[in-house]
Structure 1
Amino acid sequence: MASGNDRIGREQRLLKEGKKKYIAELGKQLIQLREGCGLTEPESPLETAKHIYRIVHTLKGSAPMFEFVRIGSVAQRLVELWEWTQREKAEASGPMTALPFGRCAEQSQPLLRELELELEVYKRELELDEQQEQVNSSFLQPNGERLLILDDDEVLRSYLVRRLRMDGYEVDEAADVATAMKLLRENSYHLITLDLMMHPDSGYELFEFLKNDPTLKWLPLIVLSGRNDVNDKVRCFYLGADDYVTKPFQYEELGARIYSLLSRTKTFEQMAFRDPLTGVYNRRFFDHQIQVELERIARYPAPISLAFIDIDGFKSINDTYGHRVGDQVLQGLAHLLQNNLRATDMLARFGGEEFILVLPNTTGPDAKKAIDDILRQAHHGPVAQNEGQAFHITFSAGIAEWSAGMSVKDWIGLADGAMYEAKQGGRNRTILYAGTPPGEAAGAQVASPGSRKTVMIADDDNILRSILIAKLKHLPVDFREAANGEEAYQSLLRRPVDLCILDGVMPQLNGFEMLARMKEQGNRPEEMKVLVLSGRSREEDISLGLKLGADAYMHKPFSMVELELRVKEMLNLS
């Protein structure tokens, strides 16, 4: 036999279904009533009036059964208005029939308007009920959230663990702070519930532990306490608690607070840390999380690699088909990458058509193999379709494995430089950075400070500047940068350099104008070499550069290998 709760639940479901059908039928009936009470008198007034009466009589009788009290009240007034149709003396023709019909039809208009308004209100109420059911369904079926329950009360802790698991959460438990710390180091959690008064350590000890760990400081935390003391509450909120629940409490309240806090945290993450177009992490989250990953490696040494990915020919897609198609291509590649990642990998949109992928516990060669596999998948099918047209893409990727002492900027620069080499090598490929990490001289002793050279990179393309620095930083050189010719000129007057890598076309003062001014003023540093980089390969440009004193000329795009050889030659580095 079904329990009382089952019976109540079944009755509620039946009532809900009845309400939905009633509202749907009311919409149809209102159309008929509007037609029957129209401005023009029908051919058979009495038959029409009787039809109107039957409709409003049905509305009046069934509305209270489905708790539509206001509809029932309006329908009652309509029934009274058309009650004359049920009298025996009502005849099918004659002046006595026409007169009541016209008057009743006119007096029905405001009542029908009331019914239409009630219909809209009740439809909205049903929609809100359905939305609430979806929320409740989400609450009863969490999306893999993992919780940690810390409480030395074994009975309460066991009860909470069982109830939360019944609601679909993954739950771990700890009876003391030391055990909780161990679990927090070993696992990832979405929320903690914390008892304040425990032995031997109080719950306050965990606040300090969480605050000092960058991987845990933003973890949502609910305090459960038997003390309803305002000072305790204030102290916990200042220390970083997100909520405070006083024992004894109803589980339903705690469950709702947990759900609400997890939902807000997820929403905040979507707004603050997700790229709105592709749904992957954004640059802000990457900058934060990469530090977390490196701090984790400092505690538990392991390999970690980074891949810098750039869509080939993306500008031509935008120019030819428009940004709408370009956006679909970005979404398609993001989807392809995400579908091939492990749970521990991190994908972020770095900007434009560039994505960056962090692969923990992965060597450089293994990372290259993983990205090669994804590139092969990109060859097999389109990443987007628009109006029946399929769009296939390839990408270029650079990969670098992190080594001890390497800064994040240098690490990204190495991967970015390797990606640039992939572009120069014909695109549609991955390149693993195989050079010596920054700070180490390949095949030679580290140079002493006095023997280091200084290189000025003067180019308004900040990305190219960072690539050049990353590619050449293993050499015994120090770098200075300038974003335009005037800035480079003034800097060189103050402090000469051994080599100036100079862009031929820059704002304020281009490379050729800078060389011309130095030649005219006679203030070029005597030992300074000049390597001109230019996107123009015209013979007259090359001749002009050499005539003005350039020692070498390379046109963009150029080979990074050739550039490095040229720099070594000009600085007399073996």
Structure 2
Amino acid sequence: METSVLLIEPDPTAAQEITEILQEGGFLPVTRQSFEAVHDSVTDEMPPKAILIGTDNVKESVLSFISELKADPSTQWIPLFILSRTNEDSFRIDCFNAGADEFFLKPIHPKELLARLRGWVNRIGNFEESAFRDPLTKAYNRRYFDLHILLELQKAQKNDYPISVAFIDADKFKSINDNYGHHVGDLVLQGLSKILREKTRTSDLVARYGGEEFVILFPKASGDQAANRIQTILEYVRENPVAEYEGQLRHITFSCGVAEWKPGLSVTEWVKLADDGVYEAKGQGRNRVILSNLQTSEHDHLEEKKKVLIVAGKGMSKSIVCEIDSLAYEIQEWQQGIEEVPPEICIYVIPPTKGFDAGEYEQFRMKHLPKECKTLLLTENHKALDSFQIMATGIDGYLRGPYLPGDIELGLRRLTNLN
């Protein structure tokens, strides 16, 4: 499969030249002439493995665009190449400070560009394999699922399409380990994972949630559609062995709970709804799929949204809102002179170029935050604060960047004891 690369180049002649270089190097270039309409190209079902930006634009626009890409959880890990005719140290340094990974002067040397591009793509691929794949089953791991479900839900909300999640638990798996040994149990998990990955769409995400549990995320699928797909897989598993050991075929079944996300549900509630379906399926005798429906009356019992105040610059504030907007929080962005509802949590962001001013924070806290409000401090400046300052100011938690998608949510959960 060809590796997709996004090229943003306003000069048609340069775009054609670079496109030919990429094609000859085995890449699949997708070309855009401007920053507009680029977002959909980097957040669709098959995002690019790298982004190349021609800088025949206003420098400030280029730097702003780089910062936006690196602040967005869905694009921050994509390698970013700058292709420029501007041979100025200050501009090159500004690009790197904004988040660029490589800087090339035009005209481009084809072999060097391709070598560096392959190197970045391979390194990121190896990182993803080791960081986000379960080594036994080759399905995605729990950490990747926790990060990805947030991004997929944000896209579903933005584009107004359904999204569902399914929990799968292998039936009587403990007896397989007890009677035949853990080696056979491992083969069964590997076989089940292979079937789940082969029988789902490329846009679906299959992850090992823990033990004998798997979870599947179904973008653009209603609860009924996801349940029907799982039912088809279950019927296949009933009739076909998932593993073979010493000439013996191993058959299993599984119990599954499916839930479609509905407005008002936090991610935690949504996932729990699917997990509850597994228990219901097992209670009915296992070997079945249960579609969990949130009854209208249950909306009254959904957890009350906690009020979160974000104190940050415009770009960083937008990134934080993007990450936590689908969770059980009522979000406010702080603006001078606007009276806000007293928050329960404050996300206080230190700019990358600025150190932590304890006096400034204390003054802000006394003026704008209620006494019981908890504060999560964020900074990408590793020299911005130390543990003594944190203890002295009474800050409840802090994160140092760069942030993975989901890190801020986990920080909030620690403050609110939701884990």
Structure 2 residue runs of 5 or longer lacking an equivalent are 305-419
> Is 1:392 matched with 2:256?
no
User: 2:195 aligned to 309, 312, 336, which one?
Assistant: 336
Residue matched to 1:360 = 219
Deviating beyond 6 angstroms after TM superposition, the runs of 4 or more aligned structure 1 residues are none
Q: Give the Cα separation in 1 of the matches to 2:122 and 2:179.
A: 41
Structure with higher Rg: it is 1
* Secondary structure of residue in 2 paired with 1:177: coil
Residues 312 and 438 of structure 1, relative CA distance in 2, 3 Å threshold: farther
Q: Which whole-Å CA distance do the structure 1 matches of 2:297 and 2:69 have between them?
A: 34
How much has 1:439 moved relative to structure 2? 4.7
* TM-score, with structure 1 as normaliser: 0.50
- 1:440: how far off? 1.8
2:63 corresponds to which of 204, 214, 223: 204
Counterpart amino acid of residue 426 in structure 1: G
What is the rounded CA distance, in whole Å, between the counterparts of 1:173 and 1:152 in structure 2?
Answer: 10
> Which stretches in structure 1 are left out of the alignment for 5+ residues?
1-142, 450-574
Counterparts of 2:217 and 2:135, CA distance in 1: 20
Letter in 2 for 1:157: A
Give RMSD over aligned pairs: 2.1
Tell me the equivalent position of 1:295. 154
Determine if contact 1:150/1:176 at 8 Å carries over to the other structure.
yes
Equivalent-residue separation in structure 2 for 1:437 and 1:246 (angstroms): 60
Please tell me whether the aligned partners of residues 403 and 437 of structure 1 are also in contact (alpha carbons under 8 angstroms).
no
Greater relative contact order (CA < 8 Å, ≥ 6 in sequence): 2
Give the Cα–Cα distance (whole angstroms) in 2 for the partners of residues 318 and 439 of structure 1: 39
Q: Structure 1 pair 435/198, CA: closer, same or farther in 2 (3 Å)?
A: closer
8 Å CA contact 1:176–1:201 kept in 2: the answer is no
Query: Residue type matched to 2:18 in 1?
Result: L
> What amino acid does structure 2 have at the position aligned with 1:180?
V
Matched, 1:243 2:102: yes
Aligned to 1:164: 22
Q: How far, CA to CA, are the matches of 2:174 and 2:232 in structure 1?
A: 25
Residue 224 of structure 1 and its aligned partner are, at CA, apart by 1.4
Q: Following TM superposition, by how much is the alpha carbon of 1:240 offset from its aligned partner in structure 2, in angstroms? A: 1.7
The residue type equivalent to 2:239 in the other structure is H
**Cα deviation per residue 1:360-391 (whole Å; 9 max; x = unaligned)?**
11111111100000001101211111111111
Q: CA deviation at 1:313?
A: 0.8
SS of equivalent to 1:298: helix
Other-structure match for 1:71: none
Cα distance in structure 2, aligned partners of 1:396 and 1:240: 45
Q: Deviations over 1:276-313 (max 9, x none)?
A: 11111111111111110111122111111110000001
Q: Which of residues 415, 423, 426 is equivalent to 2:274?
A: 415
1:177 partnered with 2:35: yes
- CA positional deviation for 1:241: 1.5
Aligned length in residues: 302
Moved more, 351-360 or 190-199: 190-199
TM-score of the superposition, structure 2-length normalised?
0.68
**2:290 counterpart residue number:** 431
Q: Which residue type is aligned with residue 390 of structure 1?
A: L
Q: Give 1:199 shift.
A: 5.4
Letter in 2 for 1:337: L
The alpha-carbon deviation at position 197 of structure 1 amounts to 3.4
Shift in Å, 1:394:
0.4
The one-letter code of the counterpart of 2:68 is F
Structure with the higher fraction of residues in helix conformation: 1
What letter corresponds to residue 147 of structure 1 in structure 2? Answer: V
Q: How does 1:165-314 map to 2 (within 5 A)?
A: 165-181=23-39, 183-184=41-42, 188-198=47-57, 202-314=61-173
* Cα distance between partner residues in 2 of 1:304 and 1:185: 16
In structure 2, do the counterparts of structure 1 residues 314 and 401 end up closer, same or farther at CA, with 3 Å as the change threshold? same
Alpha-carbon distance between aligned partners in 2 of 1:155 and 1:179, rounded to the nearest angstrom? 21
Query: Do the aligned partners of 2:234 and 2:254 also contact (CA within 8 Å) in 1?
Result: yes
Are the aligned partners of 2:280 and 2:290 in contact in 1 as well (CA < 8 Å)?
yes
Contact 1:345 1:360 in 2 (8 A): yes
1:351 paired residue number: 210
Whichever residue aligns with residue 347 of structure 1, its letter is: V
Tell me the distance in 2 between the aligned counterparts of 1:285 and 1:304.
17
